[in-house]
Amino acid sequence: MLNIDWKRIGKSCTERFRPELFQCLKEGYSLKLFLADAVAGLIVAAVALPLAIAFSIAAGLPPQAGLVTAVIAGFAISAFGGCRVQIGGPTGAFIVIIYGIYAQFGMSGLAIATMMAGAILIILGLCGLGSIIKYIPYPVTVGFTSGIALIIFAGQIEALLGLNCTEALATLDYAKMPGDFVGKLNVYAHALETINWPTVGLSLLTIAICVYWKRVTQKVPGSIIAIIVTTVIAIILERFGFPIATIGSKFPAVADGMSLTLPQLPTIEWHAIRELVSPAISIALLAGIESLLSAVVADGMIGRRHNSNTELIGEGIANILSPLFGGIPATGAIARTATNIKNGGKTPLAGILHAVFLLIIMLFLGRYAALIPMATLGGVVAIVAYNMSELHLVKGMLKSTRSDVLVMFTSFLLTVFIDLTVAIQAGVLLAAFLFIRRMSESTEARNITRLLAGTPQTTRPDDLGQPGINVPKGVEVFEIYGALFFGAADKFKDTLLSQNRRRPRVLILRMRHVLVLDATALHSLEEVYAHVHSRGITLVLSGVTAQPLMLMVRSGFLDRIGQENVHGHIIDALNRANEILATPTKPTTKK
């Protein structure tokens, strides 16, 4: 019967799930801290409001979905997360994934994929794999982030230029705006003649305010000022006969106000779950990457360390709760977290209060969102896309190795023209293959017999350690450099067998630089042993490090070659070679 230590498992899970909110309450919470958190929460709510609406609309959903996410997920991430000052909610990085899932599977499919992603994040956290996200190669992250930024910007062209794409969609036989990058550009090209110049003016004004308002003050976000100014201008233009597209004209129900619905499970279509696994993994990876990156940035600003496992569990809980109320995927937001810290947020209660303030605004002022011009939201999202592109990081990557540049552009192009899920998977695989190739190229086996003997022009005491050693006749010494793994195993074997033509009595393999040995390389080593043994050559190993030695012991290879033929130092290995040379040779019979 399988004996499972449930107490140990429970203790391990408890250690990995320690929300910072509970830690702060244990340490003591004062009125002074509450006031600081309340002020920070209110300011962050003002920053999050336009972003939540804009991200939701950019993903093809009504504005209420973004606000609900900012409220529910924002509350959960602060209440259950592992970073004291993390602010969670919808982010621009999810726009592309959400748009694709919603277009193909509808709101029910999006909810299921988001909840599956939440479950994945919780499992990763409970298993102590909070650091696994860090193993995604940096060029992959830069590539797909830049790709997402370009797609997000492309999705705002309609709002920025005030295009009427109805006729263009009919001409191209589209039922609705296509989700792919090329398809959107094709529609925009056919609709360019419908450009609305007053809308273009509002878009440029929004971008200008968002860029330059920080020179006036950083206490009030430029996006809020842009919304107020452009909304007033849009109302004036409407009265003078210049209609401007607004949230209300696109989503008429918003004018009646917004509400927080009771939680409801999505309709589960079992045949679609298998197709949603891959998008769910992408959501989980993206949420994990962005939240942990935000937490690391916050650590540097407040001088504390977050709990990555707890943070992933908190993100998972948030992504399970959000769809129940009609929300979308959420993660930690770097800009909002930084705003929270800069405005005095000290504990997770600042994030909880930010969610409460957003709920109040949604319930009592939500109907006024109908007046906001679509051009304004397009301008706000365009600024987010530009910041997300991290062009300076792309320029820095161009100075890196060719393989890193190849991985970055592969991830970028696959994100833009194929799919983000494919981009992440292909980018990681390509980076792994290129890394394996680089590692295999760095692994080599060289004949150092003459170097050990002290040939004047080639002796390198700093490298070989023992210049002028007496290597007896009939002994060949090879030194292996680098990791011996499946990527370098054949190269090692071929090099060793091709150079070993003089048929010595003893072949010494010096392995002091081999720190890693895997099963494939061990198999190659066994093939080398079988080959030399059949020719009457004794194989002696020198300087075998800990991990390779343990593998040789467990596999039985050490017993096959004889423990007397494995030594820690080259001098001892040469002494063993002298003993072998002193014994008479046994004739070998050819089969």
Supply the pLDDT for residue 359.
94
Report pLDDT for 550. Answer: 92
Q: What stretches in the chain show pLDDT beneath 50?
A: 1-2, 455-466, 588-591
Query: For position 329, what pLDDT does the model report?
Result: 96
Residue 578 CA to residue 561 CA, distance in Å, equals: 17
pTM of the model: 0.76
In degrees to the nearest 10, what's the CA dihedral of 187, 144, 133, 392? -130
Confidence at residue 463, expressed as pLDDT on a 0 to 100 scale: 46
**pLDDT confidence of residue 585:** 65
pLDDT tens by residue, 336-349: 898 899 888 999 99
510 strand-pairing partners: 479, 542
506-513 sheet: strands from edge to edge: 444-447, 475-481, 506-513, 538-542, 566-567
The residue written with tokens 């910072």 in the block is: 20
What structural domains and CATH numbers belong to the chain? Answer: 8-162+197-430 (no CATH), 443-582 (3.30.750.24)
Pairwise CA distance, residues 442 & 137, whole Å: 20
Phi, psi of 448 (to 5 degrees): -115, 20
Q: How many CA atoms lie within 13 A of 431 on its CB side?
A: 22
**Per-residue DSSP letters for 84-123?**
TT--EE--GGGHHHHHHHHHHHHHHHHHHHHHHHHHHHHH
CB atoms within 10 A of CB 186: 15
pLDDT for 12:
59
The conformation of residue 136, written as its DSSP 8-state character, comes to S
Q: Which residue has the tokens 């030695």?
A: 549
